[in-house]
Structure 1
Amino acid sequence: MKQEYSQLRAMVAITKGSLKAIFRSPSSVVFSIAFPLIFILVFGFIGSGGKINVNIAFDEKSDTANPVYLGLKNIPGIKVSPKTGMALQEDLEKGRITALVNIKAAADSAQAPYTIHLTSSEAANPQNVQVLQSILNAVISGINQQQYPAAPTIASISKEVKKIPGRVYRTIDFILPGQLGFSLLSAGVFGVAFLFFNLRQQLVLKRFFATPVQRPYIVLGEALSRVIFQLITAVIIILIGHFVFDFTLVNGWITFAQIMVLSFIALLLFMGFGFIVSSVAKTESTIPPFANLITLPQFLLAGTFFSIDNFPSWLQPISRILPLTHFNNAMRNIAFEGAGLSDCLFELGVLGIWMVVVYAIAFKTFKWE
């Protein structure tokens, strides 16, 4: 008796073949795993402490025999430049040094014993100048409390700070979700676009038509290989972030599983963009420009490196429309705040709306030959 042809078995065979081809492609491994890991490693190392880092220098005429000078030098995060003369002036003009500090003893006994003058450059970060001023005020306030404890004041701050349990929010907790989202977006758009364009150009799809495999199973087989590969990369990225840089997974494996489900949903959406690009591109050289029109705005505006609250008010509504923004928000809520998928219904709803729109366009534009 003749055995009935299995579409499912054929789809699995296509998936296996496509998956082997992906792992044999150096570019797939580099852009899916190595590229986001480089960003994670960089931001993981520079953001592990979260401490201040302000470079200053003392004027050659500055008074150094006073408690303010000693207090400022001993603060962690304050780096004092040893340079003098023209080298110091050049660093100051180019913003390498936040400010030149000059502590002068007051000539009039009726004034405060010392006057502090700051010299800065327009090239210096204004926020660092404000941080330095706040540090100086704190140092002076501390000295005043030690030397004049009975002096009248409108209020005093208790030295004892009551602390409640809480999680430390590290730079990696913000950066890793953005990098994972961009990895999924890039793989979904570029990977699928190049894959199906080449399958058409090399007449592979046409050869498939000569077999009993039905068209939906061909697409599912190829798409499933991309999903498996990208979920593997997601696992690698999350595990390295967690075990090397202490990326927060509030509820452990439960949080990890929810992140994988979220990544799967987002990847399906991003692959829809890839189907569209593969169909509208006339030549292989036109795929990158079309793909970049989709990926670059989201890479820059979807809160990958910093919060979209820092953007101008007119730009924030545009950022909040982008699907990568809602993936990033949902993942950060799940990973750090302990939210579940049921708590991210708004973000999932927006991704769902995008998926309906994107695949409606993909079905209209997709070409088999």
Structure 2
Amino acid sequence: MRAFWSMVRANIRMSVRNRTALFWNLAFPAIFILIFGAVFGNDAGITFDVAVAGEPSPTRDIALDALRANDAFDVSTGATDAELAALEDGERDLVLVFGAPGAGHVPGQVSAAPLDLYSDATDGPNEAVVIGAVRQVLTGALGQGPPLAITERRLSSEAISFIDFFVPGILAMSLMNSGVIGLSTAFVTYRERGILRRIRVTPFPLGRFILARVVSQLLVAVAQSLILAGMASLLFDLTIRGNPLVILTVIVTGSLAFLAIGFAISSFARNTESAASYANLVTFPMLFLSGVFFSVDSAPAWLQPITRLLPLRYLVDALRDPMNRGRGFESIWLDLLVLGATFAVAMVIAIRFFRWDARPS
């Protein structure tokens, strides 16, 4: 029996020393709990940017007070044109425009207060959520008061489907994984097998070897993006509204940024196992905090600055704007600038700590 428990202890020690197994068995589920708990665990922390505009009236005042009393809404007021412009720029989730009291009154009937709910049809799943939440608050606040004649209006006549919203995020995820995980493990493998050391003593410049790897990864990234988008178009009627040149520029810039991150990780990793662990540690938080699967615009306020530190957030936004909204470089220049800066910083780090030979374990 003593030998049995000695074997149990030995197996536990081996499990604890296996960093890759520890990551997948403990750290990975813990990251899921932390991320989804932060985003969804406290509904009171989720906020929508809602604006109230239109003609002043007692009904509007009641609705305004009810919305302000609800922590789910960040409420602003202003002129109708200004608030609709803010909605178009993505600064508002919904704009409530109240009509003049008695407008549309039919003799012999109780006068209903006209209310137009303006939303952005390209806002994906958020659109239905915020409209439903506002309707619920208005029903509770005005249930015994004057009726509302609510009309839902959209800035864009063409609403995006879930697949339209989903595919840009998947393309961004694919580019991230290909660059960070693919390149980091590949270069560490080259180092472990002595390939980099052998190239160093040949006439072939190492810089060209690295450049060849980067160019091949870029070509693969473009090809896989075309394949995924084509599959979604054929099977699920994906609609791409933007200029293909803009989208291609985003794909190349984003791919370069994450290739540089993968190169930087390979400079620090001792072996392939540690490279995979570091790469997963970098990619998984970004995967769930960058809007790949769901919009993070309505995430808790304290989480918003964190999401803005993640390069994948900018790649997702830079793909969704042209693909979903048909916008050009004027709308995504900041996203491209951040991705370019990410590439530059990661490359400086990678070159500074680059090693030809594997470190002893």
- The two structures have a TM-score, normalised by structure 2, of 0.56
Secondary structure of the corresponding residue to residue 308 of structure 1: coil
Say which of 288, 298, 301 aligns to 2:276. Answer: 288
Counterparts of residues 131-142 of structure 1 (less than 5 Å)? none
Which residue of 1 is the match for residue 352 of structure 2? 364
Distance 2:155 2:258 in 1: 41
- Confirm whether residue 182 of structure 1 aligns to residue 173 of structure 2: yes
The one of 225, 235, 242 equivalent to 2:216 is 225
Instruction: Give the letter for the 1:294 counterpart.
Output: V
Q: Does 1:245 align with 2:233?
A: no
CA contact (8 A) 2:189 2:271 kept: no
Displacement of 1:163:
8.2
Supply the AA of the counterpart residue of 1:320.
R
Q: Matched residue of 1:157: which SS?
A: strand
How far 1:310 moved relative to its partner? 2.8
Show the 5 A alignment for 1:253-268: 255-268=243-256
Tell me how far apart the structure 1 counterparts of residues 202 and 317 of structure 2 sit (CA, whole Å): 44
One-letter code aligned to 2:263: F
Deviation at 1:337, TM superposition (A): 1.1
Determine helix, strand or coil for the equivalent of 2:302.
Answer: coil
Are positions 1:168 and 2:159 aligned together? Answer: yes
> Per-residue deviation at 1:206?
2.3
CA–CA separation in structure 2 for the residues paired with 1:300 and 1:173:
18
Deviations, residues 159-200 of structure 1 (Å, cap 9, x unaligned): x98888711211112211111111111110111111111111
Candidates 295, 314, 329, aligned match of 1:326: 314
SS at match of 1:241: helix
* 1:307 alignment partner in structure 2: 295
Q: What is the number of equivalent residue pairs in this alignment? A: 222
Report deviation, 1:154. 4.2
Match of 2:263 among 259, 275, 279: 275
CA distance in 2, matches of 1:180, 1:277: 22
- Confirm or deny that 1:347 pairs with 2:332: no
One-letter amino acid of the structure 2 residue matched with residue 325 of structure 1: R
8 Å Cα contact 2:180-2:261 kept in structure 1: yes
Please give the secondary structure, in 2, of the residue aligned with 1:316: helix
State whether structure 2 residue 199 is matched by structure 1 residue 208. Answer: yes
- Equivalent residues of 2:192, 2:271 under 8 A apart: no
Instruction: Report how far residue 309 of structure 1 moved.
Output: 2.0
2:179 aligned partner, one-letter code: G
Amino acid in structure 2 at the alignment position of 1:207: R
Q: Identity percentage over the alignment? A: 30
| Structure whose CA Rg is larger | 1
1:335 matched to 2:323? The reply is yes
After superposition, the Cα gap between the structure-2 partners of 1:164 and 1:267, relative to the gap in structure 1 and judged at 3 Å, is closer
* Counterpart check, 1:157 vs 2:143: no
Structure 2: distance between partners of 1:205 and 1:190: 19
* Distance in 2 separating the partners of 1:207 and 1:349: 37
TM (norm. structure 1) is 0.55
Structure 1's 157 and 186: CA in aligned 2 closer, same or farther, altered over 3 A? Answer: same
The verdict on how the C-alpha distance between 1:157 and 1:356 changes in structure 2, with shifts beyond 3 A counting, is: same
Given the superposition, is the C-alpha separation of residues 217 and 326 from structure 1 closer, same or farther in structure 2, using an over 3 Å criterion? same
The structural deviation recorded for 1:204 is: 1.5
Change (3 A) 1:210 1:257: same
* TM superposition shift of 1:278: 1.2
Counterpart amino acid of residue 349 in structure 1: L
Contact 2:165 2:324 in 1 (8 A): no
Unpaired runs of 5+ in structure 2?
1-128
Shift of 1:155: 4.8
Question: CA 1:170/1:286 → structure 2, altered by over 3 Å: closer, same or farther?
Answer: same
Structure 2 residue 225 is the aligned partner of structure 1 residue 234: yes
**Equivalence for 2:7:** none
